[in-house]
A and B are shown apart, each in its own frame.
Chain A
């Protein structure tokens, strides 16, 4: 079934005084992957929410197979064959049910289904759904025991059982490792071959290069660029989305000062190889590597959340063994944690309260918070990082993702420290905000050691003086960020996936 199942004409949407969509025209053809690019706040999410029934449009229409279509709920959209896989993977699955029940969830929720459950039948039907996509799951395992990537595959498989007209993938790889993303791409290829129209939203250029058949750029609520002819003009699409040309970042590698942090023979796991690492003042170190190679554990050791199996840490020449986050902060070691939604942002708080939360004791006398001092800090942070907001009292939830991330980073930049650790600071952040954050981190790095952890090598090249590669819970590569041998780094990144290990991973995923 080829053709153009979805046509969007003159779609408009406003929230209070704020025009989010100003006349969007977009066709999404079947059997092709249409990538939608746009900076944070361009209106991508709003557009998706209208198509999948969460919002209603103020003007314009969506045509589904040339019929006007305005779903008033997500389930109405689902009935019509519009399937959305959300960025937040756990929104798509029920963790406390087994795989079979998750795959059959729509049947279970359908009031017309039989009231009594026949486990054998359900299992069989679920296996058929999985088999369509060549997925091999143990139907009895709990979804909560699955890795994130497998949960997402479960969600997609379940969605595919509806034989959809349109599948929307919203930042599907944002929590996945490279190998896991690879599996997802294979699935996308399969869906494309079966004639589904796919709308793919992502900030990651590597993803986009991998899957895109056509690219549509969005800025300030309108479509500003369409690229359909191969080879696709990726740079043109990025420039359209930003409204100006993005130059490459040129890193001036700086000379490191004295040693601040030293890791000696540190073992994250009893059987892992020891890590030796020295971090200097005036140095930005990027640690890159796949998801699940120990980057998180390393930050946890440095921030007092996890005791290493063996080894020593020295901070400014003294033994350093933090017992809690508070302890680490008191020693001058700050961590801007990954997954800001769960680990960083306090949703009920405004910008000001989010920024000053870790530093309240120094901002208060006898327990009373000195409000003028805290607003001074916050207003300075807002100005420095260019956080787009009305005032320091805006609720953090009203900010776009990129701006929320800026708030989180500026929180930890607001006070001087000896070691600043940033774990995945560019998660779900568009390229413009990413450059702002990267520049500010480098600009302020003079008096501290900075360690940035990320899965994407491109991001590491943009920010670091030195790039370390992690695999199998240890450091396998150390590169100065000048004329870097990219092939060597990539080899080291994937070094863990020798044929033998790959086999092990697959077994692990199937369990």
Chain B
């Protein structure tokens, strides 16, 4: 029971640091790379950054939904790669069209989210363990139909025949088409999808009662339940959002690669979790939020692109990402919780 009252009008330097520190860092980074790295400040470079963060950003927005209800989803990376393999399998082996492939992937994501939610809410398995188990399950399951091989047109199947189907042009367009925006062929489809999803999730969390209720569950589940909130339903829905968004990420990845590559998407989980956690620090929110997550993904993208253009070796990238994440978490928890 705190009897201290905080006067909101007189913000100290520390308050400003908490609130705007990360945004200032982001702007500083852009200015620095703009001066130091040649070609960084061009529309094409900006679009490239957006494209590189699109898939992790979409996954991160899904994790954000589970973080809001006080949960966590470790299976998103595996859901994304499963969607990648499933879409390839649908088109290449089963010779279905793009629409069926996309629908199957989204359905798969929703079902995985439902099972995660069921395990956590009904079976009372702790969220980290349930989704970790699901992760292993999916990583294994996606390899069984092709006996561990990647999927591409003309591959030989377990029954000895050859796969006749191929990626349909409509599907590939999801990964490769670019819209005109002042400059011809500028904005890739994935970036448009990211922006649409980010705005929808932000709107959902901030302006609808569903989002409000999800935050209430994350802060005090019992109080929310006694205020009449169907807590279990909301928690399951959060995992389903996470699953569906992860499969969207997987579809976009498949469309970009044009084959069911078994080894791709290894970094998806860690990158998107990092983006969502960095989002805690943006504007001193100290809680999961869609805007912060999007900024977090962008931050990581800008940093990596800048470093690449300044010829930093590839193997330093994970180290830099880890450093940024740790500093962001420090910002969030050490500074803002000491009120």
What is A's interface to B at a CB cutoff of 8 Å?
Answer: 15-18, 20, 40-46, 87, 303, 324-326, 328-330, 335, 337, 342-349, 353, 357-358, 360-361, 363-364, 367-369, 390, 394-395, 397-401, 428
| A20-B208 in contact given A335-B226, A346-B219, A357-B216 (Cβ < 8 Å) | no
Q: Is B13 an interface residue (CB 8 A)?
A: no
Known contacts A17-B7, A368-B207; A360/B1 CB under 8 A: no
- Quick check: A45 and B228 within 8 Å, CB to CB? no
Complex Cα–Cα for A367 and B222 (A): 23
Alpha-carbon distance A41/B1, docked complex (angstroms): 10
Task: Name the A residues within 8 Å of B259 (CB-CB).
Answer: none
Please give the residue numbers on chain B whose beta carbons come within 8 Å of chain A beta carbons, in ascending order. 1-8, 10, 12, 207-210, 212-213, 215-216, 218-220, 222-230, 287, 339
Residues of A within 8 A of B4 (CB): 15, 18, 20, 46, 398
* A400 with B215: CB separation less than 8 A: no
Please state if A364 and B3 are interface contacts (CB–CB under 8 Å).
Answer: no
In the assembled complex, 20 residue pairs joining A and B whose CB atoms fall closer than 8 Å, in A order, are A16-B10, A42-B3, A45-B1, A87-B1, A303-B226, A325-B227, A342-B220, A343-B222, A343-B223, A346-B215, A347-B220, A358-B227, A360-B212, A367-B210, A368-B207, A368-B208, A398-B6, A399-B5, A401-B1, A401-B3
* Interface pair A45/B207, CB less than 8 Å apart: no
Q: A16-B10, A87-B1, A353-B212 are in contact. List 18 more A-B contacts (CB 8 A).
A: A15-B6, A16-B12, A17-B7, A20-B4, A325-B227, A342-B222, A346-B224, A353-B216, A357-B213, A357-B224, A363-B209, A364-B209, A368-B208, A369-B208, A390-B7, A397-B2, A398-B4, A401-B1
Would you give the shortest CB distance from A433 to chain B, in whole angstroms?
13
- A326 contacts which chain B residues (CB < 8 A)? 228-230
- Closest-by-CB residue of B relative to A411 is B227
Q: How far is the CA of A400 from the CA of B4 in the complex (A)?
A: 7
* Cβ contacts under 8 Å, B222 to chain A: 342-343
Kindly count the residue-residue contacts between A and B in the assembled complex, taking CB atoms under 8 Å apart: 113
The answer to whether A324 and B230 have CB atoms under 8 Å apart is yes
CB-CB nearest in chain A for B4: A15
Which chain B residue lies CB-closest to A397?
A: B2
Evaluate contact between B220 and A325: CB separation under 8 angstroms.
no
A349 shortest CB reach to chain B, Å: 7
Assembled-state Cα–Cα distance A330/B210 (Å): 18
Which residues of A lie under 8 Å from residue B209 when comparing CB positions?
Answer: 360-361, 363-364, 367-369
Given A15-B6, A329-B228, A346-B219, residue A360 in contact with residue B207 (CB < 8 A):
no
Residue ID in chain A nearest B225 by CB atoms: A325
Residues of A within 8 Å of B219, CB to CB, are 346-349
Q: Could you tell me the distance in whole angstroms from the C-beta of A389 to the nearest C-beta in chain B? A: 8
B8 touches A344 (CB 8 A): no
Smallest distance from the beta carbon of A148 to chain B beta carbons, Å? 17
Most chain A Cβ neighbours within 10 Å, of B207, B213, B226, B287: B226
* Complex Cα gap A87–B212 (Å): 31
Closest to B207 in A: A368
CB distance from A333 to the nearest CB of B (A): 11
On whether the beta carbons of B6 and A349 are closer than 8 Å, the reply is no
Could you tell me if B287 and A18 are in contact, using CB atoms closer than 8 angstroms? no
Q: Which residues of B contact A40 (CB under 8 A)?
A: 3
Q: Tell me, in angstroms, the Cα distance from A346 to B216 when the chains sit together.
A: 6
Q: How far is the CA of A299 from the CA of B8 in the complex (A)?
A: 38
Q: How far is the CB of B216 from chain A (nearest CB, A)?
A: 5
Residues of A within 8 A of B208 (CB): 364, 367-369
Shortest Cβ gap from A145 to chain B (Å): 20
Say yes or no: B215 contacts A17, CB within 8 Å. no
Are A16 and B6 touching (Cβ within 8 A)? yes
Q: Contact between A17 and B216 (Cβ–Cβ < 8 Å)?
A: no
Q: Verify B227–A357 contact, CB threshold 8 A.
A: yes
A345 touches B223 (CB 8 A): yes
* Given A325-B228, A348-B287, A349-B216, A428:B7 Cβ within 8 A: no
Closest 5 CB pairs of A and B: A360-B209, A348-B219, A358-B227, A326-B228, A367-B208
Q: Which residues of B contact A344 (CB under 8 A)?
A: 223, 226
B220, A345: Cβ atoms closer than 8 Å: yes
Q: Return chain B residues, CB-CB under 8 Å to A329.
A: 228
Closest chain-B Cβ to A57's Cβ sits at a distance in Å of 14
Q: Which residues of A contact B212 (CB under 8 A)?
A: 353, 357, 360, 369
A15 lies within 8 A of B216 (CB) = no
Nearest CB of chain B from residue A7's CB, rounded to whole Å: 23
Determine the chain B residues whose CB is within 8 A of the CB of A17 once the complex forms: 7, 10
Contact indicator A346/B230 (Cβ below 8 Å)? no
Q: Is the CB of B5 within 8 A of A15?
A: yes
Residues in B neighbouring A394, C-beta threshold 8 A: 8
- Tell me the complex Cα distance, A295–B209, Å: 33
Assess the B3–A20 pair: CB atoms within 8 A.
Answer: yes
B194 CB, min distance to chain A CBs, angstroms: 23
**Bound form: Cα–Cα A391–B225 in Å:** 26
- Which of B212, B223, B224 is packed against the most chain A CB atoms within 10 Å? B223
Residue of B nearest to A345 (CB): B223
How close is A307's CB to chain B, nearest CB, in angstroms? 16
CA of A16 to CA of B210 in the docked complex: distance in angstroms? 36
Give the residue name and chain of the B residue nearest to A353 (CB).
B212
Return A36 CB to nearest CB of chain B, in Å: 13
How far, in Å, is B19 (CB) from chain A's closest CB? 15
Contact B3 A400 (CB under 8 A): yes
Residues of chain B with a CB closer than 8 A to A428's CB: 1
CA distance A40 to B218 in the complex (A): 28
User: Please, how many angstroms separate the alpha-carbon atoms of A41 and B2 in the complex?
Assistant: 9
Tell me if B228 and A342 are in contact (CB < 8 A).
no
Known: A329-B228, A357-B216, A367-B208. Is A45-B223 also a contact (CB below 8 A)?
no
Cα separation A15 to B6 with both chains bound (whole Å):
7
